[in-house]
Amino acid sequence: MPAKIIKEKSLSSLKALFVALLIGTQVLGIIVTQMLKSENYGFILFLLYIILVPMTILAAGFFLGRAAKNRLEYRRPDWEFEPIQFETSDLRKKGKEYLRKYRRLTPRSELWMWFLPVVLALSKVGFLYYSIVSDENIAEFLLIAASVLHPALLASSAYVGYHAMENEASGDFRLPLIREAIWLAEKQDSLPGFYNVRVVLDKAEHDGYEIYRSPRVFARVRYVEDDGYVESWSGELRVVERVHALLHSDKEDSVMWYWRSMDRQFRESEGHDSYGHYVKEPPFLRSKLGVKDVRTVLIAAEILLLREWIKREDGHEDAEELLCRLQKDI
């Protein structure tokens, strides 16, 4: 029987260590609280406590979480990918399910995860400072609150170390930028002429595990129907990086128009001509389009596809009406 590609090791020892550290940090907080109540401390000792102790706890929690994330062995198989289509609503659900299912294999970093330990550490310093300048009753409450923050610091930093860090399987199991692809699909679906807009990902399965690659948006154009389609790729921060429009892709007289962010102009290639040439009559006024010109780039691809299709069909009244509308909107 072949070995599994993922061998997850037990976390029992690390969990026991985590519980012991939680108890230890809480005991430390209680001891220091009693010491501060008695005012039997020097300024240097107090300064070390408010700086060195939180940093030590944060570091211990982070490395403990990171150690737990790395408690596995990964044997990389030969992944074989096949394209699969998703509607945007289904892909949102799939993304959440995937991250839950493979949380031990994938890194997930969000701003609040990094911000929370910092807030807790600063709160602890603030509680200790105000315990010195406040009256006795309030000071006692603030000291108790500061001691309770010790295990909270440990837990929050361990959470970051476990969820945000990578392990040897993360390179394959990292989920691609589906959020940006969903945004681009919804943007494209809102434009006139497009229909059957889907997000396409390359999916591979092995030994019960699945991974995804290369999210892009696939859309048909009205009246062109199955004769052509527009495919687009999103980048980070809601931009478009690449757009392809293909007509009769399965025939000898196929035509492809493509726009790339590095070039910023549409090229046209026919048949086996892979390099092509710049479009002689671009359907937009500006000489070049940038990554933020998402709407213009997508409509331009649609116009190029419609224009050539109408020409080959020797006219089409409804398609020509749509083409005129798009040319006015661009």
Both 135 and 17 in one domain: the answer is: yes
| pLDDT one-digit tens code per residue, 25-43 | 888 888 777 776 666 666 6
- Domain termination residue (choose one: 120, 150, 170): 170
195 shares a domain with 305: yes
Domain co-membership, 112 together with 207:
no
Domain ends where: 146, 170, 194? Answer: 170
Do 163 and 182 belong to one domain?
A: no
Do 162 and 19 share a domain, yes or no? yes
Of 170, 188, 211, the residue at which a domain comes to its end is 170
pLDDT of residue 52: 84
- Nearest 10 degrees: Cα torsion 42, 48, 49, 53: -160
Domain assignment present for residue 37? The answer is yes
Largest Cα–Cα separation, the chain: 95
CA 28 to chain centroid: 39
Residue 37's pLDDT is what? 66
Q: What is the model's pLDDT at position 1?
A: 43
Beta carbons within 8 Å of 194's beta carbon, 6+ residues apart: 188, 219, 220, 221, 222, 230, 298, 302
List pLDDT tens digits, range 211-240.
Answer: 999 999 999 999 998 899 999 999 888 899
- List, for residues 101-137, the tens digit of each pLDDT value: 999 999 988 889 999 999 998 888 888 777 776 777 7
Q: Please give the model's pTM, rounded to 2 decimal places.
A: 0.82
Question: Quick one: 35 and 182 in the same domain?
Answer: no
Please state, in angstroms and as integers, the Cα–Cα distance from residue 126 to each residue in 122, 143, 226, following that order.
Answer: 6, 10, 65
**What is the domain extent for residue 288?**
178-329
Are 31 and 165 in a shared domain? yes
How many domains are contained in the chain?
Answer: 2
Q: Tell me, what's the pLDDT at 2?
A: 55
* Whole-angstrom distance, CA of residue 219 vs CA of residue 225: 10
Residue 209 is assigned to a structural domain of this protein:
yes
